[in-house]
Structure 1
Amino acid sequence: MSPAPDGPSTLDLASALPHGYRARPSTAEDVDALCHLVGACEREIQGRVQCDPGLVAAELARPGLVPELDTRVVHDPSGALVARAWVNRRSAVDVHPRHRGRGLGAALLDWADARAVQAGSDYIVQTVPDDDAEAVALLRSRGYQRMVTEWLLAFDMPDEPAVPEPPEGVSVRPFPSGDQRAAYELIQDAFDEWQQRRMPYQEWVQHTVERPSFAPAMSALAFAGDQLVGAVVSLDLTDTGDGYIEQVAVRRDHRGRGIARLLLRHAFRAFHRHGRRTCTLGTHSETGALTPYLRMGMQVRHQSTVYRKSLRAT
């Protein structure tokens, strides 16, 4: 497989960096600094922070990702960590706002493309906020194409949200410690309708129930008799001041009964009682869920686009 067009033919990132900047693989000790970096980028583009250390740690623990090969962090001449990249099917590139315009993003994007080619990937995917015109232009210049639209939605809660009565035969309770595997199976079965890759169980728990921000009291499960038919997995992102719904799923044969709305309302009320006045969740154009969420009173806070680049030799 030949290198991607307009990218480097080797993985020599050092020669592409500005004078005085140096790169190295990331380590577990970088999690807090990486979260601070990503948060600075989010604050600059979106006006608020969404990242938490648990997300960064889960990214670095992706199955198959080898930090020595698949990650890079960049330090400026003073030693501060100012940029990062990782690639493992998906990829991410972030440059601190104060260090943009110096070629760091282009160098890291080309490194990620070249690393994906070296690893034998057929494609590479990256998500970028639509408001980040500079990053969008860079991706398009490297041959990335639009694939999916993502939205971050917000539900404002000045008053305690009302919770509807459950459908006949359905009960709701908070997420206890023994239901992780059943919730995983239900969520992945539901997501298989649109996701390209079924997430392994260990990867799922790292992104959800094993994250420090996991909020079991604000998560909710729906049962029909003793059968799990719906789940909401919530995170309490203390740095943002918001509650966050990480995942929502309803078993296919129980859809259209208002179970998703019921579970979300339970989560919203729990977050409100915990002192949160806004709850957010993410969705994308493959799920078809945007319109139902808007009908529930949620509003679009941010919009991003997932870009994909084919690495197959033509």
Structure 2
Amino acid sequence: MSGISSTLLPIGYRSRSATVADAHAIHRLVTACEYELHCRAVTGSDRIVADLSLPGLEPKFDTVLVRDSEGEPAGWGWVKGRRSTVHVHPDHRGRGLGSSLLAWAEARAQQLGNDRLAQTVSDGDHAAVALLRSSGYSQLVTEWLLEIAMSVEPEVPEPPEGVTVRAFRPGDEQAAYQVTEDAFDEWQQRRKTYAEWARHTVERATFDPAASPVAIAGGQMVGAVLSLGVPGNDEGYVERVAVRRDHRNRGIARMLLHTAFRTFYRQGKQTCTLWTHSDTGALSLYERIGMTVQRSSTVYSKTFTTR
């Protein structure tokens, strides 16, 4: 299977393409990185499966898994379009694996005909930030992880006149896709296909319809909050928040979020988190409803020189 040439890897490492069968091993690698940075795991194994099964991703060419001499995962990465992700296990840092994986990602992106590549890196990962900066990457946007603590049951505001709220149910998929992607079109560089969107939302094993309220007006979906919940975890997670443009500034997003928070509280969750970033302009909304920034990440981008 494809991978990084052995001549480009540090001595003692070998690589091949990754498959869905590797999801568990990759998840262990990713969570080790997260414990090192954040003292807790934040990525579910279903997210790894979703990444490896993205429509249009060719695992044989677009993924790489690096193992050490004992066969344990030491690093991995994937490239799709202009986006990539690279992780190096904490026990294997400082040996050049990050540089090798970054070089592989850039080469693959250029093979695909892309003129640039972007990666998201935690602002606390100083080694990764230094590597990207020294390799010609510049800051694109800032992302924030926000959290709300729920020591008492959250109160839910009354819906605006003409708007009703209910939990997500089968058959809502296309409407939710339309509402969220229309809203995200205002800042994202590329509209996702339905199949790609669904892999990271409604088709994930942890998708929680009960904690995913939608707003209906005039018989149409005008807002949605799509949430994930991991059994045995005391934290809920909001994956998407969107309100149709012609229904904004009516308190719908606030109402939907508090509805999701209340559902998570009744499920025994103590906190709820979500990510937002600087292009959405939504940070102040989340702070007004009582959420606080826990940490930040930065999306770095590099433009390739044409010859």
TM range (shorter): over 0.9
Task: Report if the CA contact (8 A) 2:233-2:269 is conserved.
Answer: no
Change (3 A) 1:157 1:302: same
Query: CA–CA distance in 1 between the matches of 2:175 and 2:145?
Result: 27
1:235 matches 2:228: yes
Deviation at 1:224, TM superposition (A): 1.2
Counterparts of 1:41-56 in structure 2, within 5 Å, are 41-56=33-48
Q: SS in structure 1 opposite 2:171?
A: helix
1:226 matches 2:219: yes
Task: Report if the CA contact (8 A) 1:232-1:263 is conserved.
Answer: yes
1:27 matches 2:19: yes
Query: CA–CA distance in 2 between the matches of 1:240 and 1:80?
Result: 27
1:77 maps to which residue? 69
Q: Select the residue among 287, 293, 301 that pairs with 1:308.
A: 301
Figure out how many residues of one structure are paired with residues of the other and give that number.
304
Counterparts of 1:101-140 in structure 2, within 5 Å, are 101-140=94-133
1:292 matches 2:285: yes
Query: CA–CA distance in 2 between the matches of 1:144 and 1:66?
Result: 25
Task: Report if the CA contact (8 A) 1:48-1:240 is conserved.
Answer: no
Q: SS in structure 2 opposite 1:177?
A: coil
Query: CA–CA distance in 1 between the matches of 2:6 and 2:150?
Result: 49
Query: CA–CA distance in 2 between the matches of 1:312 and 1:241?
Result: 47
Task: Report if the CA contact (8 A) 1:230-1:259 is conserved.
Answer: yes
| RMSD across aligned positions (CA) | 1.2
2:52 maps to which residue? 60
Q: Select the residue among 177, 184, 207 that pairs with 1:184.
A: 177
Q: SS in structure 2 opposite 1:137?
A: helix
Counterparts of 1:227-266 in structure 2, within 5 Å, are 227-238=220-231, 240-266=233-259
Structure 2 residues not aligned, in runs of 5+: none
Q: TM-score, with normalisation over the residues of structure 1?
A: 0.94
Q: Residue type of the partner of 1:72?
A: V
Greater relative contact order structure (CA < 8 Å, 6+ sep): 1
Change (3 A) 1:238 1:136: farther
Query: CA–CA distance in 1 between the matches of 2:35 and 2:133?
Result: 23
Q: Percent identity?
A: 56
Task: Report if the CA contact (8 A) 1:50-1:237 is conserved.
Answer: no
Large movers: runs of 4+ above 6 Å = none
Query: CA–CA distance in 1 between the matches of 2:232 and 2:276?
Result: 21
Deviation at 1:289, TM superposition (A): 0.3
Deviation at 1:313, TM superposition (A): 1.3
Query: CA–CA distance in 2 between the matches of 1:93 and 1:127?
Result: 9
Q: Which moved more, 1:206-215 or 1:58-67?
A: 58-67
Q: Residue type of the partner of 2:56?
A: G
Counterparts of 1:75-224 in structure 2, within 5 Å, are 75-88=67-80, 89-224=82-217
Query: CA–CA distance in 1 between the matches of 2:4 and 2:290?
Result: 50
* 1:268-309 Cα distance to aligned partner (Å, 9 max, x none): 000000010000000000000001111111011110000001
Q: TM-score, with normalisation over the residues of structure 2?
A: 0.96
Query: CA–CA distance in 1 between the matches of 2:280 and 2:109?
Result: 27
Task: Report if the CA contact (8 A) 2:20-2:53 is conserved.
Answer: no
Task: Report if the CA contact (8 A) 2:179-2:243 is conserved.
Answer: yes
Change (3 A) 1:108 1:240: farther
